[in-house]
Structure 1
């Protein structure tokens, strides 16, 4: 029995095994790295535009020359009889003058075409080389910017581009980047300064709380009055820490003033600072003496001024030798109110007195080598006093001790243009 062709083809289709379908991935040829640079694109753009412009000029010239006259090879020739002295010598091939002129034009156009192609080829190569060199020179500031940006790290923002040359767009870009780096560096410094200030300022209240807990609150021999005084000192220290954190946060956010102005009793501020450090002074065998004149009112922030006096007392208690005296005084001289902290410590060298209020500075010769503090306490004191329109002065001699005086303007008094008195108040 003969199977029809259609059924036979269908059987072959059914019997044919199905092959798995594979997705064919077409890989594009990978171009060299330099082809992805701006320098390469500028080179190609510059060379392409120059090539097209030259081709248009040469093409227009060729078209104008071609249209100016007839040009074609010699197509029509004639046979002429040649006679010499009326004697027939034979026949020669001859053409008309117009044919000769057309042939000359044709060869001229051919030469022009060949020379134009050679010029275009040489121009293409030359323009690529010139474009690569010129684009490299033009983009050299960009490479300097990218190289400097790659070397800069978040922990070291001291590097700058400082691009020299003409005041063009790239110079403006470099100056903008430098300005941005200045702002970033300032922000990072402010952040580090905030952390250092917080750690330094929180150390004193914590030390006060710990000293009162160890010396009074956990001691069985302490009486009720001592416990109340210690509890009051601990309460002031915790309040000080709370206010300190709020001030630091307000300073960091820069959207609210860190100092609240009010009428402040300067003698009360100095007295509270003395109470806070009384336990620490007693532990080190120091005599803490107060010479406070009552009725000294200044306009400012109570906690900030107490913090300033507390920082001075902290340094005095830490550096003064045992069995010596620390004197805290407050008074008025003309239109200025003052409070001072005097110790009998090692003193400060004359060359170091101008730098003692700088941040992170610590004395290296007279006992400062063993000081592990960050060197922020006196800088914070100066900041607080200057925010109250006052000044801080230092009087010190090596081996005799130091006296720090906080001068604050009295409310309603005419402040002299020369500032507070230069001599040490008695």
Structure 2
């Protein structure tokens, strides 16, 4: 907006400049009057009145125009008694000047030949120390184009200086007013960017905002409320479906256990996977209800070590190995149970979806990350796929972990390498301290 205002101000000044130049350039009489006045003013600087009688010394900057009789510029300067103080006039120009014995008017101008370049004669009576002097000039064809200097002086004196001051104040006041008016908008934008979607109390503060901006902020708050209500309804629906399905699934499993047949065992396995999916669906819905009051300072190193110790027997029963490494202390505000569930899911996935003999490493790094790494080869994820907003498809278990990371303001990265998989949660600017050395706990 500021750039557009400045641009149009510059365009307006350029348009006015062109209009002024055209008006002066095509008006020969006005242009001639200005030329005579400017030349008389410069010649008058050479008149001296300090002695017994007036004298005239041609200023050096005028010598190229009035220093000889062949330059196309002529001048004649007389004192009040008619005595000539200076003249480079020839017979060619004498006929264009007023007679010496004629009483000279205060200003006179004669256009010798209309059109450009200017050919004219004129003069003016000036007073220096209360003594009158008649300064007359003539130009035949304006050889050095003094008309350009006249136009430049008029543009500077009567347009650029006054209009420049006006534009500076008007433009400055306009930009200041716009900046002041938009300051609440910038503040609202910062508040909107900092809104925590998991906090139901997050709203834009409309106190002190101009009416128009406050109305916009109120509309945004209403939109947030509608989205929260929609998410709450979705959460309730998901939880209700998971709850209603859980009991029939348990009954079906009890009935299948009474049937002695390989197909029944296959159905039980499929049913177990369905029960796990329902549990994950319920967990995914419950994540939306996390309250910020549940966040406490959590030692991720201690939490991870205790989790690895508790899962180690089961990992070894599946003929896998697991190790815990810490390369720095990681202490962050978090919901410990959620972080524990996320890491447990990553470890269980690494066990269930890799071949026997796979080595699993759970590592806390000094760069604020905690990850689960394995060397189990190509992935085998038989989970129900979930399409994310970015177009990627991942299992619902990994989507739960991603949601947990998002709730904590963290980033979750899952990548396949040539040797296995890396699943890493990166916490934002955590408070951490480096350990004295790498610590490794093999189980």
Q: Do both proteins adopt the same fold according to a TM-score greater than 0.5, normalized to the shorter chain? A: no
Tell me the TM-score normalised to structure 1 length: 0.33
TM-score normalised to the size of structure 2?
0.32
Structure ranking higher in strand proportion: 2
